[in-house]
Amino acid sequence: MWSVYVSQAEKYDKALVAGWRADMKGILIFAGLFSGILTAFIIESYQALTPDTTDLLLAQISRQLSDVPLVVSDSEFMPTTGALICNGLWFTSLGLSLASAVIATLVEQWSRDYLNKSDMRPSPIERARICSYLYSGLKHFRMHAIVDLIPLLLHMSLLLFFAGLVAFLLPVNWIMTLVAAALLGIVGAVYAALTVMPLLFANSPCRTPLSGVLWRIGQICMAPSSLLGRGANQRMEEVMMHRATAESDRRSTRDKRALCWTLKSLTTEQQLEPFVEAIPQVIWSWTPLTRRREYDHLLQTLIDDPGVQLGPRIAALLLTCENGLLEPKLRQHRTVLCLKALLAFAMAAETGPQCSLVFPFELSTIGYLSTTTYPPAQPYVPALRACAMWSLCCSFLASVERLLTLYDTAKDDSSRAELRNAMHLEQKYISAGGSPFSQDRSLKYMLATAFFPRAHHCQTLHHLLDSTPCFKLDIFSKFLVDSVISDSEPYNFIETIEILRPDRILVISDPSALRECLRTLRAIVHRKKNEAAGINHIDRALGVYLPLFDTLIDPEAENAVADALITYVNGRQHPGAVLHVLHQCDVAQTWFRVTRRLTRADRPDDVLTAV
């Protein structure tokens, strides 16, 4: 515990002292040069404070030649007001400059002593207490204020020098005096603006040592509503941090601009990898599985921005793993992080108004998932293929909804363009493995029959939207078939099931869809591991798929479901796995179906064994 404190304290102290030393070094250099220049001016100006010996000598000679009594005295000499003002300002300026140099030297020495004293003991607890004690001394004796005072002295010295320059030139030439006065006015105005700017704008990079003083005065005089609308007793840094992190449209715009700049600056694959690796944690919280939506608008900006194109960049990064140029470890690492990022995007797909993140899967990514035989990628392929299909299906259905809206508003040109976009998404969905739509639901058919009444097209679009559960069931079935082929549980198996599984009550009215579901059920049962210990992913797949048939009313299909269950129960030699499968089913309906098969002609003994 104390070691952590010491580590953080040392990091803070070293950064603090390093900043002080850098500032003091710059101040010493400037103060030395400025003092030398100022001294040269003072050597010229201080002579105006004493009588000129040449003038006195000429006066003496003049008196001797005119037989005037010899009286030589300089007691009547009085320096001019301009000379007094000029020298007073310049001598004060020189004093302030030298004082800033002396204090800067002392600060450098104090900083060195501060670090040395905090590192005198090896014990972490003693070092922690020493660090805390010394830092409390810094706060108590206002070391930060002393450091801020040094540049203030130097700035005042510079302003006094310009003021003295005006007084010095006043008796010499009025044009040069105006030039110097204008320069003084400009410098003073700029300095005043730089002083006030951070009081008005919390994100201003400009400030002077007087800014903090004016801030404190403003809080005292105007509390509790200070210049930036914050309460009293707040430092300028606290107001800046509040403004930077407070939720607002401007913060969102800044975040988008920052992330777009970040992606554009990542020009190599090695630089892009850490960003892609962080994407899953931005979209999902995995323990438990929870969707994080607070950054969706930022990610969508990166996806939609033509100068960033996050989707194609991830796809291109994944394809670099297939060029044969990467080392095995680097190839595996890059492949896995790309697949995880793509899966995180795919699992975020939704239908309806709650959809806040749409990821455009590239055809190259779809082709990679269909053809890759790379062993480290295989655990991720089933979930990613299924979720990519669902993501493309959601994008297609969203386009269909937009198309319906355009039909309702009678925008023919826009509706035709949106129809072509929906056709493109339809083809991508089919390329990813989705089942082709029937002829009467084909958008290509709609485009070819543009002469049909608008109501006919709207009916077709509504039919597509109503078929969403069937699309989801088809994708879910394909995912389970891909998963049970694997000897081990695929990556994110349970999480993908939770996202893709249809509702428990599902009426399968399409004969072709019913045949596909029964084929999936038989494939899962066929892949069962009879002697496997414990509940494996095949048991879990059957446990979530079998309840979907509880609402069947087709006798032939019910018999097929009962036969598949009988085969599983008789073959699976683990009671816990069988109980897991039956736990989520309608027990009465399952019992009725199985016992009814006692009358079947072939192998009735298998039914008795299962019962």
**Cα(159)–Cα(38) distance, integer angstroms:** 12
Q: Which of the two residues, 402 and 349, has the higher pLDDT score?
A: 349
Crossing angle between the packed helical segments 236-245 and 209-222, to the nearest 10 degrees: 80
pLDDT value for 305: 92
**Cα(471)–Cα(548) distance, integer angstroms:** 15
Confidence of residue 476 (pLDDT cuts 50, 70, 90): very high
Overall average pLDDT of the 412-431 stretch: 77
Which stretch of DSSP H or E encloses residue 43?
helix 2-45
- CA–centroid distance for 574 within its chain: 48
Whether the predicted pLDDT of 215 surpasses 90: no
pLDDT one-digit tens code per residue, 19-45: 999 999 999 999 999 999 999 988 888
Whether the predicted pLDDT of 410 surpasses 80: no
Pairs from 205-213 (Cβ < 8 Å, separation ≥ 24): 207/236, 208/151, 208/152, 208/155, 209/148, 209/149, 209/151, 209/152, 209/155, 210/152, 211/236, 212/148, 212/236
- CA–centroid distance for 537 within its chain: 36
Q: Which of the two residues, 359 and 170, has the higher pLDDT score?
A: 359
Whether the predicted pLDDT of 434 surpasses 90: no
Whether the predicted pLDDT of 236 surpasses 60: yes
Cβ count within 10 A of residue 581 = 28
Which stretch of DSSP H or E encloses residue 283?
helix 269-283
Q: 293 with 356: CB under 8 angstroms?
A: yes
- Report domain extents, the chain: 2-172, 251-469, 503-610
Confidence of residue 93 (pLDDT cuts 50, 70, 90): very high
Q: Which of the two residues, 422 and 275, has the higher pLDDT score?
A: 275
Q: 496 with 544: CB under 8 angstroms?
A: no
Spatial CB neighbours of 77, under 8 Å, sequence gap ≥ 6: 50, 51
